[in-house]
Chains A and B, each alone.
Chain A
Amino acid sequence: DIQMTQSPPSLSASLGDKVTITCQASQNINKYIAWYQQKPGKAPGLLIHYTSTLVSGIPSRFSGSGSGRDYSFSISNVESEDIASYYCLQYDNSWTFGGGTKLELK
């Protein structure tokens, strides 16, 4: 089984900050990683797939990068609507979510 180690578990940011979340896979996942945003009481929403491909309609302040085992997700110029939890998902070999990162306002 592929394990996904996501960090940090929580993150505090001010409006306008850039924040970065990382996910490390237990083996090479060939860029098959997606990122989700989840707000309280709601289902997760897909933001990015295949490492860096933005879903249609998602603002360009969201971005992803990485290769091999190491991947990152960034939000530049954090806005109040970005306050949420974020999860990575590897889908190279079966499916595994990272543990999540809760983004809060400083």
Chain B
Amino acid sequence: QVTLKESGPGILQPSQTLSLTCTFSGFSLSTYGMGVGWIRQPSGKGLEWLANIWWDDDKYYNPSLKNRLTISKDTSNNQAFLKITNVDTADTATYYCARIRRGGGVFAYWGQGTLVTVSS
């Protein structure tokens, strides 16, 4: 059974760095073809893809945010991470992580999401 769960700081101040953790089970990021992606959703608005990391450490970023994003993984602990630098109020959103597979390319399994609020 595939499960994912996001964790984050809840609230942080403008200009700080947001650090998010995705802890998953039911698959391994050392398995060929596996990947984890991050997607966010401001309250009442649409979904925005942020970044993906693959089993081979290949990484893809949303071009509009690329300079602020860093995705990484800890295979031994079944975790993936996302850092967003220099946050502002526009980064307030629910952040989701999701499993993705090469050959499929879609986010088939999602975590429940974690709400991050940027406020001074």
Contact = CB atoms under 8 A, between A and B. Distances in A.
Given A46-B106, A46-B107, A91-B106, A97 B112 contact: no
Nearest to A99: B46
Contacts of A94: 49, 60, 62-63
A91 B47 CA distance: 14
B46 A100 contact: yes
Interface in B1-60: 37, 39, 46-49, 52, 60
A18 B63 CA distance: 37
A96 B49 contact: yes
A46 B111 CA distance: 13
A103 interface: no
Nearest to B104: A49
A46 B108 contact: yes
Contact of A32 (B105, B108, B112): B105
Interface of A: 1, 32, 34, 36, 38, 43-46, 49, 55, 87, 89, 91, 94-100
21 contacts: A32-B105, A43-B98, A43-B110, A43-B111, A43-B112, A44-B107, A44-B110, A46-B107, A46-B108, A49-B106, A55-B108, A87-B47, A89-B106, A91-B105, A91-B106, A94-B62, A95-B37, A97-B46, A97-B47, A97-B48, A100-B47
